[in-house]
Amino acid sequence: MLANNFIEEKIPQGSSLYYSFRTTSGDKKQAIFTLFTWFKTLEDIIDIPEYQVAEKTFAWWADETCHLQSDASHPISQALAPILKQTQLPQSHLEKICTALQSNLTTVQYANQNELNLYTTSTLSSLNLFIATLLLSQAPTQQERGAIEQLSMAMQWMKIIRSLRDDCLRGHIYLPQDLLKQHQLSSTQLLSCQQTPDSLKQLITELKGVIYTQLTSLRSTPKKFRRALAPLITQALLDWKILNLTITSGCDIFEQRQSLSPVHKLLNTSASLWQIQLGILPLQRIV
C-alpha cells in the first residue's frame, strides 16, 4: 500500500480534519496529513483489546520511528523522513510522542491535571508544533509555542469529553482523579455508568469555561499567526461547536455522542477559515 492509501483510511473525506485543512496548499497538506495518519495509527494501537498484541505493535512502531531516516519500511514512516528535513525538527520529537502514547497501555488514568498536562505536551502539543512549523514555514517563536500549547490543551480537554463514553467502555478514564474527587466522582462509578451523573454534567460545564479561556488566548497572538494556523484553529473550533451541542443538549454523554454531518462540517469550517483570514476568531461562548 502507498502512503496515500493509509491517509485516506485515517482521514476520510467528510471528516473534521479533511474539511479543516482542505484549503491548505498541496505539499503542506500532504505533509500534515502524513503526520496525522502516523499519530492516529499509534492512537489506534491503544484500542487493541489484547495487551500483548498492542505491546508488540507499539514496539514495532517505536523501532520504526527510530529509523525514519535510514531503513524505515512502512510507507507512512518513509513519508515522514522528508518532513523532518522540511521542519528541521529533531526525530526525537516523534520518538517522544511515540513513547508517551505507548504509556497509555499501562496508564488507565492520570492522578492529577499536571500529569495530564505533561502527557498533552508530549503528544498533541508536539504534533501541533510540527503542524504549526509546516503552516508557518518556519519555527514558531517562544510566544507562539505558548499559544500552540494552550490550543493543544483545549483540544485535549474537548477530545476527553467527546470520547469519555467510548474510553470508559475500554477501561480508560482520561479525566484526572483529583478533578473527579472534587466533584464526588469515582473511576468505578464512571466505568459502570449507563446514564450521565449530574455531578459529571457539572464538571463538563465547568471545563467548558477552562477550554474557552484557553481558546480565547489566541486573540492575543498576531493576526498573521492566526491566519497561518487557520486550519488548525478551525479544527479546534469545530470541536468547540460539538462541545456546544453536547452542553446545550444536556451533557448526556453516556446516552448519546454529538456529531456534525459532513455538510455542517463543510459549512462551519468554511465560515471559520474565512473569518480567521479577516482577523476574527469566531468563538461563540457557551451560556
Distance of CA 21 to the CA centre of its chain: 14
Burial 112-146 (b: 16+ CB within 10 A, else e): eeeebbebbbbbbbbbbbbbbbbbbeeebeeebee
Q: Tell me the domains of the chain and their CATH numbers.
A: 3-277 (1.10.600.10)
pLDDT tens digits for the chain (287 residues)?
578 888 999 999 989 999 999 999 889 999 999 999 999 999 999 888 899 999 999 999 999 998 887 888 899 999 998 888 888 888 888 999 999 999 888 877 899 999 999 999 999 999 999 999 999 999 999 999 999 999 999 999 999 999 998 888 888 889 999 999 999 998 888 888 778 889 999 999 999 999 999 999 999 999 999 999 999 999 999 999 999 888 888 888 888 788 899 999 999 999 999 999 999 999 877 65
Q: Which pTM was predicted?
A: 0.93
CA distances from 79 to 21, 73, 112, 188 (A): 19, 10, 37, 42
Distance CA 128, CA 114 (A): 19
Distance CA 207, CA 253 (A): 14
